[in-house]
Structure 1
Amino acid sequence: MAHPEYQYLSLLRRLIDHGAARVDRTGVGTKALFGEQMRFDLSAGFPLLTTKKIFHRQAIHEMLWFLSGDTSIRPLLANKVRIWTDWPLANYRKKSGEDISQEDFEARVLVDDTFAAQWGDLGPVYGKQWRRWQGPDGKVIDQIQDLVDGIRTNPTSRRLLFTGWNVADLPDMALPPCHMTYQFFVADGKLSGLIFQRSADTLLGLPWNLCEGALLIHMLAHQCDLSVGDLVWQGGDVHLYLNHIPQAEEQLTREPRPFPQLVIKRKPDSLFDYRFEDFEITGYDPHPHIKADVAV
């Protein structure tokens, strides 16, 4: 049986060979395909790519940040996760005219409460929509708690889903949600999850999305006394930035290694009480990291 990571490598190959050339908002340019899908059996391994090292520590911190409902980069920076800094930093430089370094900007966010409140918040991004979606009547909806309750009490429901695509809030977001809708399915005591991603940066973002989606399914299954089933990933605009093609070609020369396993060491009282220390990735033996720049 073919290693499941070949689904990802095949996607990279098809993007390079057959992707449509497109001008994107970053100005970098992409090669893109539309409507792609991958499926991973989580009982057979945790889909952390092995053909390059994925920094799963940061991915776990980011998922916990999403689930907390926070929208400030401050707790991420406190855990040395810098992946969201580019957007508020660019906004600060544009509006203030100050050519501040990323390191100095992050340091000010961490130590200056007023500065962090004004410049370190990303607007109503993922966590806000997941945990505090506000309806037109002012009612606040916790989509994630509703999901947990639904899995426990009505596991055959076709409404076990949540979304971050709040049209009214899009203009105020630093970045509209890419992994925008999640749906879940319970059968034979197993929980499976589907992610629909409207926009997928295949080289840099997608490996994290797979890791975080698998992590969320594991956490939900753990809380709801279920086993894990499949992670199904679906992409709309699936693209490879033109300046990532050399790195993708390098990755395609590598053979996948066995997927690792995720160990959850503790079962807290709720989905929102997990800590970073509760998770351990075992048996991860990836090829070396491949550096590439984020397109902002």
Structure 2
Amino acid sequence: MSYADKVFVEMCKDILENGMSTEGEKVRPKWEDGSSAYTIKKFAVVNRYDLRKEFPALTLRKTAIKSCTDEMLWIWQRKSNNIHDLNSHVWDEWADENGSIGKAYGYQMGVKHQYKEGMMDQVDRVIYDLKNNPFSRRIMTNIYVHEDLHEMNLYPCAYSMTFNVTQEKGEDKLTLNGILNQRSQDILTANNWNVCQYAVLMHMLAQVCDMQVGEFVHVIADAHIYDRHIPLVEELITREQHPAPKFYLNPKIKDFYQFTPDDVRLEDYVTGPQIKNIPVAV
């Protein structure tokens, strides 16, 4: 059965059985009807996925691989902060009348910085180092820029990637590993979405840098289930589990900026039914 399902089910059970409730506390998120959106949460959840063994897509319900890849490329490749450049509606709640989400996410990825080697943005710096300084311990991104927070319509949730390259015994190619740091996550709506999109990112970067993928580690500071999501999660984690799908990435693409969502697909992906009309706290 899918390892991602096992991790997800165990995480959800731990949150529901051992988590702390924010009910009655002062919380920022609200439901559409204006009432406070409370959560059950766990501090510092760490999940590890070996991408060499399988792709970490849930089979309990379907994760839309092309849509989550498109959002990842919107941030990392197109470096956009405008929803008109995105082919889904996941950011509509936080966009202004012009479609901008402010100086957040893709905007920060596109800002150029001065390095000894010249001016580069964070994405180009990562690719440069993976190709030229693969054993550096400084290959990372950070989009939680305090001086720009007041101009962000939503503070970054997944805010930092740290890459680490290893030389595995008996392997000709170097192995690319990565850690995603996330300050907060709505487990039902976003957990596997984020896991899949950053797993895709690692596959893409490994391919263009002539490496193989290794381990993806997901660190969540505040892993929470909203009060109105509890019955949905309780039903979801009792579902039948299926084998993990096979991951396909177009092997012809050697330039990160040439990838499109159509270069990614999941094969033999058997899942349970989608959960519809999930309430979203804003």
TM-score by length of 2: 0.88
For residue 232 of structure 2, what is the aligned residue in structure 1? 247
User: How far has the Cα of 1:178 moved from its partner?
Assistant: 0.5
User: How far has the Cα of 1:43 moved from its partner?
Assistant: 1.2
1:42 to 51, 71, 78: 51
Cα deviation digits, residues 123-171 of structure 1 (max 9, x gap): 1111111221568xxx974001000110111111110110111111111
Q: Closer, same or farther in 2 for the Cα pair 1:2/1:274, shift >3 Å?
A: closer
Q: Which has the higher helix share?
A: 1
For residue 279 of structure 1, what is the aligned residue in structure 2? 264
For residue 25 of structure 1, what is the aligned residue in structure 2? 28
Instruction: State the one-letter code of the partner of 1:11.
Output: M
Say whether the 8 Å CA contact 2:54–2:244 is kept in structure 1.
yes
Instruction: State the one-letter code of the partner of 1:127.
Output: G
1:256 to 231, 241, 255: 241
Counterpart check, 1:87 vs 2:125: no
Q: Closer, same or farther in 2 for the Cα pair 1:40/1:148, shift >3 Å?
A: same
Q: Closer, same or farther in 2 for the Cα pair 1:254/1:133, shift >3 Å?
A: farther
CA distance in 1, matches of 2:262, 2:66: 10
Instruction: State the one-letter code of the partner of 1:143.
Output: Q
1:196 to 160, 163, 181: 181
User: How far has the Cα of 1:39 moved from its partner?
Assistant: 0.6
Q: Closer, same or farther in 2 for the Cα pair 1:255/1:21, shift >3 Å?
A: same
User: How far has the Cα of 1:252 moved from its partner?
Assistant: 1.3
Structure 2 gaps of 5+ residues are: 30-35, 168-173
Q: Closer, same or farther in 2 for the Cα pair 1:87/1:293, shift >3 Å?
A: same
Counterpart check, 1:184 vs 2:170: no
User: How far has the Cα of 1:269 moved from its partner?
Assistant: 4.9
User: How far has the Cα of 1:5 moved from its partner?
Assistant: 2.4
1:70 to 71, 77, 80: 80
1:219 to 204, 208, 211: 204
CA distance in 2, matches of 1:70, 1:4: 30
Say whether the 8 Å CA contact 1:3–1:256 is kept in structure 2.
no
For residue 9 of structure 2, what is the aligned residue in structure 1? 9
Cα deviation digits, residues 187-212 of structure 1 (max 9, x gap): 12211111010001111111111011
User: How far has the Cα of 1:217 moved from its partner?
Assistant: 0.3
CA distance in 1, matches of 2:209, 2:130: 7
Q: Closer, same or farther in 2 for the Cα pair 1:2/1:284, shift >3 Å?
A: closer
Say whether the 8 Å CA contact 1:222–1:267 is kept in structure 2.
no
1:150 to 115, 129, 152: 129
| Secondary structure of 2:183's aligned partner | strand
Counterpart check, 1:293 vs 2:279: yes
CA distance in 1, matches of 2:247, 2:67: 15
Q: Where do 4+ consecutive residues of structure 1 move more than 6 Å? A: none
Structure 1 gaps of 5+ residues are: 92-117
CA distance in 2, matches of 1:144, 1:62: 15
CA distance in 2, matches of 1:274, 1:18: 42
For residue 220 of structure 2, what is the aligned residue in structure 1? 235
| Secondary structure of 1:151's aligned partner | helix
| Secondary structure of 2:164's aligned partner | strand
CA distance in 1, matches of 2:112, 2:184: 22
| Secondary structure of 2:56's aligned partner | coil
TM-score by length of 1: 0.84
CA distance in 2, matches of 1:168, 1:255: 47
Instruction: State the one-letter code of the partner of 1:131.
Output: G
Q: CA RMSD in A?
A: 1.9
CA distance in 1, matches of 2:251, 2:280: 35
